[in-house]
Amino acid sequence: METAGRYGLPALASEVFQQLEILGVQFQDYHFIPMIDAFVRNKQLKEAFEAVNLMRQSKIKPTLDALFAVREAIQRDPDFIDTAFGILEDMHKDGHEVDIIAVNTLIASTSWSEDLQRAIGIYKAIGSLGLKPNVETFECLLMVCRNTAHVELAERLFSEMREANLKPSAKCYDLLIITIMRQADYENAFFFLETMKEDGHKPAAAVYEHIVRKCVRENDNRYRLAVEEMKQMGYKISEQLKDYIATGGSRGESREEREAYAE
């Protein structure tokens, strides 16, 4: 199966799959992913998307990793996303089921190119495919907002998620807070941090690190509270972060990190 996936040989993948079925093998996601990879590499996107439906039918919950080959193809050619979405539209028109994971994959793919316009266009068109966005959809959208530092849209999408009666995941909160911390006005980040904890989620270490670094840069003493919370959450304070705090932000940050934390 791995060979079939690597070299784009869907016929071989299907044959191996059939043999496994005859042997009564209980299928796992790692049986489907090489077959999906093979279809994508052979430019058979419809078959790749149908394989995702087969995963569901086999009671296997597909993840974004199942369609990673699609994301790689879009990374090589951003316009490929339009082709992929067109295939999903044709599948729906022909009465075939479209899996939300396929749509989420396309949205996630736009984060690499920071193509916010395409991400929102796909999000708005979800209903035309007979689907509704799920929490993962918003995780993917918030990922694009983080990469493009678009805080207003991030907060609006977060509200729309709640209006749809979807409970935000820890990842949704993490992405939203990090996006806010990259802005000049970052007060809302503390509100969402408290809301996140009230919802029973544990903020990621990266969230606290963003807060600490931002507060140190802004001479905001709340960095001390963030450091204490990091310790209470069981996170280790890195030597680099300690150095950053001790020097008021003049040391402990590489060029790449400075660009990542820049407003």
pLDDT per residue as tens digits for the range 169-217: 999 999 999 999 999 999 999 999 999 999 999 999 999 999 999 999 9
Q: Which two tokens stand for residue 207?
A: 């969230």
Question: For residues 13 and 42, is the Cβ–Cβ distance under 8 A?
Answer: no
In degrees, to the nearest 5, what angle opens at C-alpha 76 toward C-alphas 71 and 81? 55
Q: How big is the chain by its Cα radius of gyration, in Å?
A: 21
Distances in Å between the Cα of 151 and the Cα atoms of 69, 148, 188, 189, 196 are: 30, 9, 10, 11, 17
In degrees, to the nearest 5, what angle opens at C-alpha 31 toward C-alphas 26 and 33? 145
Q: Is 66 helix (H, G, I), strand (E, B) or coil?
A: helix
Task: Supply the DSSP symbol for 65.
Answer: G
Backbone angles phi, psi at 134, to 5 degrees: -115, -175
Q: What is the dihedral of CA 90, 119, 61, 49, to 10 degrees?
A: 30
- Residues contacting 151, CB < 8 A, separation 6+: 145, 179, 180, 182, 183
pLDDT per residue as tens digits for the range 11-35: 656 665 566 566 666 667 777 788 8
Residue labelled with tokens 């059939």 = 18
Taking 70 as the pLDDT cut, the residues of the chain under it are 1-27, 252-263
Residue type, 128: S
pLDDT, position 255: 47
Question: For residues 168 and 161, is the Cβ–Cβ distance under 8 A?
Answer: yes
pLDDT, position 58: 86
Q: Is residue 187 packed enough to be buried (19+ CB in 10 Å), middle (13-18) or exposed (0-12)? A: exposed
